[in-house]
Each structure stands twice: as structure tokens, then as C-alpha cells.
Amino acid sequence: MDIAAGETPLAISATLGSTLAIAVSALAHRSSRRRRAEEEEDGGLAERVAVLASRLERAERDIANDKQGRQAFAAAQGEMKAVVVQLAALATQIEALGTKLDRQSQNLTRAHERIDDLHRLAANQFAQGVV
């Protein structure tokens, strides 16, 4: 912008006004471009925020599932321990019954042997005519 020494104040004002208008227009254009860039960036930012939110939700679900899995495992483990205790008690009872059955079997064997002895004795006495 060159203002010659003999120009009138009106001409100087007009030159300054047009220069100011060009500057305002350029600033408006830059502002508009910046706003568009920010909106595009915001769109990209919104997508990134959505992706991160989705990942966060997935991580929270995984943590909840992991906690539920651990709780289910702990419950199952507790139940298994209870079953092991019951099985140990049953094994002890079965061993006791086995011992009792062995004694009963020995008693029964002795009773059969005694019956066989008595049968032989009765047969011998019958054969000798004692009975």
C-alpha cells in the first residue's frame, strides 16, 4: 500500500478501508479454514473417542467376566472340596464295612466248618447205629 504525498485524506481513508477489508476477508477465510479443519479433526477425534470408549467397555466386560469366572471357579472348587470330604468319609465307611464283612465272612466260614463237623459226627453216629 503506497500512499503518495499529495493524496487527500479521503483517498487515504479509502485505501486504508480497502486494505482493512482485504485483511478482514483474509482473516475470515483463515478462520473458516481453521474451523473446517477443527471440525474434521473433531470428527476424527470423535471416532478415536468412540473407539477408545468401545475398547474401555470391552475391557470392563472382560474384567467382569474374569471376576465372574474366578467366582465360579472358587465356588466349584469349594463344592469339589466338599465332595472330596464326603468321598473320604464314604471311603472310611466302606473300609469299615469291608472289615466288618471280612469278620462276618470268617464267622460264617467257621460256622460252616462247625456244621460240616457236626454233620460228619452225626453221619458217623448214624452209621454206627448210636442215634
pLDDT at 74: 86
Helix (H, G, I), strand (E, B) or coil at 123: helix
Identity of the residue numbered 27? L
What is the pLDDT, as a whole number, of residue 111?
A: 94
pLDDT at 60: 87
Tens place of pLDDT per residue across the chain (131 aa):
455 556 777 777 777 777 878 877 777 778 777 777 766 666 667 777 788 888 888 888 888 888 888 888 888 888 889 888 999 999 999 999 999 999 999 999 999 999 999 999 999 999 898 76
- CB-based contact 19:1 (threshold 8 Å): yes
Report d(CA 96, CA 101) in Å as an integer.
Answer: 8
Write the DSSP string, 52-109.
HHHHHHHHHHHHHHHHHHHHHHHHHHHHHHHHHHHHHHHHHHHHHHHHHHHHHHHHHH
pLDDT at 2: 56
